[in-house]
Amino acid sequence: MGGRGPVLLLVGGGGAARLLVRVGGTAAAPPKNVRKKTMGHGLEKMLNRGKKLAIQVAEGKKIPDVPLQAAKLASETSVALRDNMPIYTSWKLYDNDAGKSRLDVDVKNEAPSKAACIDIIKRGVRQTRYHLKKKYFDESLTEEQLLAKQPPPKMKKEEWTKLVEYWCDPKNQVHA
């Protein structure tokens, strides 16, 4: 018989048995169970329904007074920072309209709420840059050696190149 015709194999035991079908001598891999996206899922559902995340921040405060709003804002900004926002060398390089599609928030008391959202994102970007430098930047290596490495996950090669050039610049090493 030597590999001719379909061969059925039952793999596993108990309630978790899977059926493998071999056609033409190669075995088909069992389907992989992949977990669905969980981070940012709540905001995605809200945006798909046409709603916005309501944020109310009191004058002079940095976070919302309502604990649920504060938690949702922190969670969704961290997801947006990790997945969507580029990491530039300076905060001034960011365009004000860049994150409006993802972080679509309904700000009441426009000035303090908007300032609080910008402050949270600004601190998150700075913290991300710090963690990237701490984890992936080695001062003992030359700039060429650092650029030869793969960029960190979810980061474009151009962004990584600019950050490495920024960190290797002697003018900026004084501040670090």
pLDDT, one tens digit per residue, over 163-176 is 999 999 988 877 65
Kindly state the tokens that stand for 130. Answer: 């710090």
Query: Which ranges constitute the DSSP H helices of the chain?
Result: 41-48, 67-83, 110-136, 143-148, 157-168, 170-173
The pLDDT assigned to 50 comes to: 72
pLDDT of 153 above 70: yes
pTM equals: 0.64
Q: Beta-carbon neighbour count of residue 146 at 10 Å?
A: 19
Cβ–Cβ < 8 Å for 77, 62: no
Label residues 61-72 b or e (16+ Cβ within 10 Å = b).
Answer: eebbeeeebbeb
pLDDT of 93 above 80: yes
88 or 37: whose pLDDT is higher? 88
